Copies of this chain bind each other. A is one copy, B any other.
Amino acid sequence: MSELAARAEKLDAGDELAGVRGKFVLDTVSDHAADAAGVYLDGNSLGALPAAVPGRVEDVVRRQWGELRIRSWDESGWWTAPERIGDRIAPLVGAAAGQIVVGDSTSVNVFKALVGAVRLSGPGRDEIVVDATTFPTDGYIAESAARLTGCTLRPVTPAEVPGVLGGRTAAVLLNHVDYRTGRLHDLPSLTAAVHAAGAVAVWDLCHSAGALPVGLDEHGVDLAVGCTYKYLNGGPGAPAYLYVRREVQDRFDSPLPGWNSHAEPFGMRAAYEPAAGALRGRVGTPDILSMLALEAALDVWDGVSIEAVRAKSLALTDFFLECVAAYAPAGRVESVTPEAHAERGSQVALRCDDAGDVMKELIARGVVGDFRHPDVLRFGFTPLYVGFGDVERAARVLGETLRVRAGNG
């Protein structure tokens, strides 16, 4: 056993989250070649299946829908699922209850949040600042929100944000963790800068929620959105969520005022009157199957602290970088993920000229990460089910793959 493999064994033995892995459905060794037993490092794209989900979904389909049918809207708690599940997510992102509703896609929630943010901002403010390096959908939706609210869109790098804020700034949309590089942006200081300029701060938490502490309440974030199918393991296309800070809820004015956000949804009134609280972030009928699968998926967090997750996440990515340095041919890959812990999310992105082909080979050998155009190998580390042995094995397989491709295998 190599020194790194021995270290991995020791780290796994001391891992306080090791027991959580059993709450997920993961590959067994026999699924793949023995030297690379299923290492899933793509949980930042689609989280693995929590073991409690299939049974719960079956109950929702067969009993709640099949037998109770329409009665389930009350009796099975369907109607209140968006806010109930929002309250389950709340502690993971540092929010008190009553500020998050689940539903719709991330893109749709970005739209609600940005138009809502512009309307929350003061008069004379007509500029939306957006992270130019963000996941594209945020930029596209921001452009639409700007167009529909008569604002100008100003795309800048996150580092440039403080310098462009001013009296015209209505809202600022930022990603907490960059989807490509894994860079963690400084939410507290950027939020403070946005507020100092009198603008409204909107954060996209897709790549941070469930991987590290966010502290929405503590840092005074106004609005936030996030998906639930990455580190929250809610399933493919599981509904996203919207956080509306308690202090701005009364003034939050959604551009998608569907009947589910009405103060009296079954009053069937011609005039719209928004519900109190976070509920005004709801829109139409919630997609119950996807939503209740997510609810079951959140059970894996029982007894897990996000601080413990963060500590393990940093240990995993540190160890991966160390193993890659040891196993990969010198200069063959280069990390574009920041070294500093304060600037690192829960992924490692390696620049590699032939990244597309390399990732195909890794996947064929059971090490699943993903390729991001044009030259990035992306590896996500979900501390709930990834162990240090996985990390060592993934780096080793990567090293072997790179050597073989270079003819040195």
Contact = CB atoms under 8 A, between A and B. Distances in A.
A132 interface: yes
A108 B284 contact: yes
Interface in A90-118: 104-108, 111, 115
A247 B236 CA distance: 33
Contacts of A58: 54, 57-58
A107 B256 contact: yes
Interface stretch (A15-23, A214-222, A285-293, A343-351): A285-293
A143 interface: yes
B69 A270 contact: no
Interface of A: 25, 27, 40, 42, 45-46, 48-49, 53-54, 57-58, 61-62, 64-67, 69-73, 78, 104-108, 111, 115, 132, 135-137, 139-141, 143-144, 148-149, 155, 180, 227, 229, 235-240, 254-260, 262, 266-270, 272, 283-291, 293, 363, 368, 370, 372-373
A111 B256 contact: yes
Given A284-B105, A289-B235, A49 B61 contact: yes
A141 B112 CA distance: 13
Given A66-B25, A284-B108, A288-B235, A266 B141 contact: no
A73 B237 CA distance: 10
Given A108-B284, A140-B257, A370 B70 contact: yes
Contact of A235 (B40, B65, B237, B266): B65
Contacts of A257: 140-141, 143-144
B139 A270 contact: yes
B45 A70 contact: yes
